[in-house]
Amino acid sequence: MFDAIYRLGDSISDTGNFIHEDPASPFARLPYGKTFFNNATESGRCSNGLLMIDYFALAAGLPFLPPYLDQDVSVICNHGENFAVAGATALPPDVLAKRNISFSPTKYNLNVQLDWMSTYFNGICHNAEDRAKKLKTALFMVGEIGGNDYNFAFLQGKTIEEVRDMVPEVVQAIKDTVRRVIGYGANRVVIPGNLPIGCLPICLAIFQTNNSAAYDEFHCLKELNSFSMYHNDQLKQALEDLRKENPNVIVVYGDYYNAFQSVYHNALLLGFDVESMQKPCCGAGVDNDFSLTKACGDPDAPVCPNPDERISWDGLHLTQQAYQYMANWLIHDILPNLHCTF
């Protein structure tokens, strides 16, 4: 059993940090959050409602994780803290700049989030002994992170081969982060992998082709999904190294790839509209192929009437319903490896 969750990552797990950094963001206005929250600023999530981290907290009997930048909420939270920020990268800006990758909506990359975590623990713990005691029964989640490093590279015209060349550096950054987290006192760490990005509407739009051989039986782009698997394989190897270095720490891989595929491949049974599996619920493309012309949150951007029937919320992020099914799959997959029960 664990009684607190600490989270690093990006928009897949951000519960409000980004909208505190950028209150004018589309994520800070409806229809974001509309399914579960009273308003978008109360949500702060890049979805129509709850994220996987919310379902993890609910399953553990814990409150939703407060965003670190919301000082009204995050004075001292005994049940964890969320340091994830939408748009965050695993690599710092100067490293990305060397590869001519400059776009990032946030300055709060993974290193900054780690510094926040250190500051937070220094504030709630008297010394190293006290910190070790407080964190003994906590769960740490590092990621998903790294997806934006690749996304920004793709958006700036990099080829799959060029982006593939980034993977060792991104994985090393994640590995170094886990080492620091363990140094803070983490005993149980979950490190999620990447989603099958070849199934996401935004990637299908950017890399669309008339070559039918480029797609699998679910009309996902095979080369992009192979790229995700390559990242995940490299990450799993890094976790093996971390386990050998830290035999007393439980290091678990979070299989986002297969959790998503479980939802995708069983969409009909789960109540999703299979005719709209690659159409977002919000933004241009609700009723046809995804388009970058009108983003979710823009004035007059269309919204589908039944978000629970869609897997994709805005072309990049998923709906609450999809996240719930993924979270359930992951909870059953991860818990035995954590040697604890909810």
How far from 288 is each of 32, 204, 268, 277, 308, CA to CA, in Å?
A: 21, 13, 19, 11, 18
User: Looking at 14, 43, 74, 317, which residue is catalytic?
Assistant: 317
Strand ranges (DSSP E) for the chain?
A: 4-8, 80-82, 138-142, 188-192, 250-254
Task: Categorise residue 271: left if φ over 0, alpha if ψ from -120 to 50, beta otherwise.
Answer: left
CA distance 192 to 143: 6
User: Looking at 54, 231, 314, 332, which residue is catalytic?
Assistant: 314
Task: Categorise residue 98: left if φ over 0, alpha if ψ from -120 to 50, beta otherwise.
Answer: alpha
DSSP 8-state secondary structure symbol assigned to residue 28? G
User: Looking at 11, 13, 228, 276, which residue is catalytic?
Assistant: 11
2, 15 in Cβ contact below 8 A? no
How far from 232 is each of 89, 242, 250, 258, CA to CA, in Å?
A: 16, 15, 19, 11
Whether residue 226 lies in the annotated active site = no
From first CA to last CA, the distance across the chain in angstroms is 6
3-state DSSP call for residue 192? Answer: strand
Residue with tokens 């008339």: 210
Residue with tokens 């995050």: 74
CA nearest to 332, candidates 321, 322, 323, 341: 341
CA distance 327 to 5: 15
Whether residue 11 lies in the annotated active site = yes
208, 269 in Cβ contact below 8 A? no
CA distance 144 to 5: 15
Whether residue 130 lies in the annotated active site = no
The CA-based diameter of the chain, rounded to the nearest angstrom, is 62
Bridge partners (DSSP) of residue 67 are 82
Q: Looking at the annotation, which residues are catalytic? A: 11, 314, 317
